[in-house]
Each structure stands twice: as C-alpha cells, then as structure tokens.
Amino acid sequence: MLLGGVSWGRVLGGGVGGPGDASRRDQRRMALMASSETKSSDHVQSPSWEERPWSEWYLLDTAIAPGMAKAPNTAGLYRLRCRGRVGLIYIGETGTSLRGRFRQLRKATEYAGQGKPAGPPHVAGNCVFKRESAGLAVEVSWVETPQLDSRDRKGVECELIAAYRKTMRTNPACQFAGTFEDENGT
C-alpha cells in the first residue's frame, strides 16, 4: 500500500508478496532473534517474553483434552505458534476461561474444515485450520491474569502485539484476520 509515496508494506517488513519474500522475511527474523543484543526474554517464544510468566507450550488439543486439559479455567493472555517455526501466529486474550477460549478456537477450525467463513467463535480459526491441514502442529502458551480487568487485559494484549511487531517487524500471521498465505505457512 502506498501512502505519501511510501510503501508501508516494505517499511514494516512485509514485502510485496513476490516469490521469495516469505523466506527473506524469515531470514531477517532469524537474524534479529539470533542477534547478541537480543535478551532471551525478548524472544517471542520465550517462557519469560515481555517479563511475563508464560506456561509451557502445549498442542492445542492437549490444552483442552477432556479430563486432562492443561489450560486453566481463568482469564488470561495467550499466544499461538507452529512448532518448529519462527515467531507466533496469534496473540489473544480472554476474560473468562483460557480453556474455553481454546475450545472456541478448535470449534472455529472445525467450522473452517466444513467450509464455513472465518469469524465466530474465533477469528483465527480458518488460518489455524489451514496450518494444521498443511501438517503443522499448532501449540498454545498462556499467562493467567485474573487480577486484570477487561480494559487492562486488552491493553496488555495490544502491548504484546506491539512488542511482537517491534521484534519481528510484522504481525503474527493469523492476527487481524491473516491468512495462511500471509506468511507462507509459518
């Protein structure tokens, strides 16, 4: 997109979508994360990213498995990644139950598999479904935040997305109704 003669996609590191752009973005991200100036807590997949006590990473289905779910029934912030890939694919928040939110995400992936449009119960469902269909393992990690009210929790979610953008120079691939093609499957 051009605004004032500047291609903001290129300024923000998004390229223009031509062949090889995704691999060049991944190379830039890997270089940023490997930089000696980057603290381990700055790495977006770190257990202490942005100085928060993130849970371990769990497969989405392990987090919500009946009778043995790992995800808590409390409010919180969460992040999604594809195992073995650079970066995150989504950053979110919920004021009710993390486990319930992950179940909504799974339901949304089932709807996507039936050809239903993206949207409720989780906007990232279609994007996550396409990654799983491509053989990628989607994992979740969270921070419980029962002490935060809705406005503060949403504010922290915005701060995390901004921190991700600053570090990775792009949005998480499924954020803001992103698609599988936005990051070539990362």
Residue 128 clears pLDDT 90, i.e. is over it: yes
Q: In CATH, what is the architecture of 2-183?
A: 3-Layer(aba) Sandwich (3.40)
For 81-118, how does the pLDDT look when each residue is reduced to its tens digit (9 = 90+)? 999 999 999 999 999 999 999 999 999 999 999 998 87
Global model pTM greater than 0.75: yes
Sequence-distant (6+) residues with CB within 8 A of 109 are 125, 126, 128, 129, 132
- What residue ranges do the domains of the chain occupy? 2-183
Q: Residue 132 belongs to what H/E stretch?
A: helix 125-133
- The DSSP code for 122 is B
Residue-averaged pLDDT of the chain:
82
pLDDT for the residue numbered 41? 46
For 9-36, how does the pLDDT look when each residue is reduced to its tens digit (9 = 90+)? 333 333 333 344 445 555 554 554 444 3
Phi and psi for 60 in degrees, rounded to 5? -50, -45
Return d(Cα 55, Cα 186) in angstroms, integer: 22
